[in-house]
Amino acid sequence: MDKLLIRGGRKLRGEVLISGAKNAALPELCAALLTDRPVMLHNVPRLKDVATMLKLVHNMGVRAERDDNGTVRIDARSLEVPEAPYELVKTMRASVLALGPLLARFGRAKVSLPGGCAIGSRPVDQHIKGLQAMGAEIVVEHGYMVAGIGGGRKRLHGARITTDMVTVTGTENFLMAAALAEGETVLENAAQEPEIADLAEMLIAMGAKIEGHGTSRIRIQGVERLDGCTHQVVADRIEAGTFLCAVAAAGGEVFLKHGRADHLDAVIEKLREAGAQVEAVDGGIRVQSQGRLKAQSFRTTEYPGFPTDMQAQFMALNAIAEGTSTVTETIFENRFMHVDEMLRLGAKIQTDGKVAVIEGVRQLSGATVMATDLRASASLVIAGLVADGETLVDRIYHLDRGYDRMEGKLRGIGADIERVAGPAEVQP
């Protein structure tokens, strides 16, 4: 099993290229299932989750090829089996995004319930409720959502859908299903994440009629068929935010090429308050940091608030900053798994339910730590970059799910980090 070996204490300098967003590329690969025409997606990141999604669509009989420049060509004309089996779905939450498109185009779908994930229980009740409002009949049996369309109809119909909470993949499933449904769908309480707007832009390029994406009310007029399209996946704001935190913590000056500052307002504001200099410049984001930063308290909320996907990385920064901070996680009930590992590095953190109190220490000390989920892995890498001596981050398959060649990018800006295979040990 691969691990990352980091020798801390290096400043970061230079330029790093921000890849396409995982959380946009995954729904967009599913959106390609809505049409029998070819779809070209550019700027698709090289990630394990993308590979899993490509396997999932291959398994349905879809032709999908990617080239070395990050372009994926998908042709779902040959889709024969509108099913997503457990073996593939269990490793990736986003496979639930196959449900809406398959149901809308074929009138039937069988998608495994996504497996439990380390960050919380993550039910899909809202997805099911919303699609039922559009005329779907869905039963859950033997671990699968088995879906069809009721009343002898061939197409889903429009509906007004108000979810109990804001759900990102729920909104995406409804958007894709509504694009091919009969009549108008109105999504109230819709998620406003930039990845939703990016998906909507792709659907519009395919001929969908959508208004209000990027706001909490989205209106969709269903059309009978969608065409192919060419679309560029939006830059990954969470990858950019992770590098911002890494530079802020380690010190130095880095240009994040293609980073979108306008998608990271809440994170950038906190970084500035902490004392880092962050500015939006032509074609990216420039970040500069020196000296010890000031700890910042924050709560995670839906976009445009502070993203839960940046909570762990910012906590690594708080762990070595001056002062005591409070971090409140409001989205997932079990997203402090990195805390115990940070304690092994010498951090002082106490948790009580959704709240973590972090007392900044001057120096972390390298140790062997274990990644428990995607962003927890990233936070441990940041902690390793600033820790004294060597840090070995184990179980980085979590990291590979959602970061495009992270250690290569970090090495490119001066970090001392390498991937080691097998049972490597930290040198005493």
Ligand X SMILES: CC(=O)N[C@H]1[C@@H](OP(=O)(O)OP(=O)(O)OC[C@H]2O[C@@H](n3ccc(=O)[nH]c3=O)[C@H](O)[C@@H]2O)O[C@H](CO)[C@@H](O)[C@@H]1O
Ligand Y SMILES: C=C(OP(=O)(O)O)C(=O)O
Minimum distance of ligand Y from residue 402's CB (angstroms) = 5
User: Strand pairing partners for 230?
Assistant: 40
331 binds, among ligand X, ligand Y, none (CB under 5 to 8 A by kind): ligand X
Residues of this chain that interact with ligand Y (CB under 6 A) are 23, 93-94, 117, 119, 309, 374-375, 402
Determine if residue 309 is labeled as part of a ligand binding site: yes
Site for ligand X in 47-66 (CB under 6 A): none
Quote the tokens at residue 413: 């800006």
Catalytic residue check, 117:
yes
Indicate which single residue of 26, 44, 159, 382 sits in contact with ligand X (rule: CB under 6 A). 26
Taking Cα atoms as reference points, which of 300, 291, 340 lies closest to residue 320? 291
Report how many residues bind ligand X under the rule CB under 6 A. 20
Quote the tokens at residue 34: 């809505």
* DSSP string across 211-259: E-BTBS-EEEE--S----EEEEPPB-HHHHHHHHHHHHHH-EEEEEET-
Quote the tokens at residue 115: 């497996």
Q: CB nearer to ligand X: give 308 or 391.
A: 308
Minimum distance of ligand X from residue 186's CB (angstroms) = 19
Residue 208 interacts with ligand X (CB under 6 A): yes or no: no
Minimum distance of ligand X from residue 345's CB (angstroms) = 24
CA distance 415 to 243: 12
Determine if the peptide bond prior to 304 is cis (ω within 30°).
Answer: yes
* DSSP string across 105-163: HHSEEEEEPPPPBTTB----HHHHHHHHHTTEEEEEETTEEEEEESTT-SS-B--EEE-
Of these residues, 30, 117, 229, 245, which one is catalytic? 117
Q: CB nearer to ligand Y: give 10 or 127.
A: 127
Minimum distance of ligand Y from residue 119's CB (angstroms) = 6
Q: CB nearer to ligand X: give 308 or 318.
A: 308
H or E element in which residue 14 lies: strand 12-17
29 binds, among ligand Y, ligand X, none (CB under 5 to 8 A by kind): none
Taking Cα atoms as reference points, which of 8, 19, 11, 98 lies closest to residue 56? 98
Q: CB nearer to ligand X: give 65 or 125.
A: 125
Indicate which single residue of 52, 126, 313, 377 sits in contact with ligand X (rule: CB under 6 A). 126
CA distance 54 to 48: 10
Span of 32-40, 164-172, 222-230, 316-324 interacting with ligand X by CB under 6 A: 164-172
Minimum distance of ligand Y from residue 333's CB (angstroms) = 13
Determine if residue 428 is labeled as part of a ligand binding site: no
377 binds, among ligand Y, ligand X, none (CB under 5 to 8 A by kind): none
Q: CB nearer to ligand X: give 98 or 320.
A: 98
Quote the tokens at residue 281: 């410049």
Indicate which single residue of 4, 7, 19, 23 sits in contact with ligand X (rule: CB under 6 A). 23
Taking residues 280 to 319 in sequence order and writing x for each that binds ligand X by CB under 6 A, - otherwise, the string is ----------------------------xx----------
Indicate which single residue of 95, 167, 173, 379 sits in contact with ligand X (rule: CB under 6 A). 167
Q: CB nearer to ligand X: give 192 or 289.
A: 192
127 binds, among ligand Y, ligand X, none (CB under 5 to 8 A by kind): ligand X
Indicate if the alpha-carbon torsion angle 336, 338, 341, 343 is positive or negative: negative
Phi (first) and psi of residue 116, to 5 degrees: -65, 145
Strand, helix or coil for residue 392: strand
Indicate if the alpha-carbon torsion angle 85, 89, 91, 95 is positive or negative: positive
Amino acid (1-letter code) at residue 114: P
Amino acid (1-letter code) at residue 303: Y
Determine if residue 194 is labeled as part of a ligand binding site: no
Binding site for ligand X (CB under 6 A): 23, 26, 93-94, 120, 122-127, 165, 167-170, 308-309, 331-332
Annotated binding site: 22-23, 93, 122-126, 309, 331
Annotated binding site for phosphoenolpyruvate: 22-23
Q: Which residues are catalytic?
A: 117
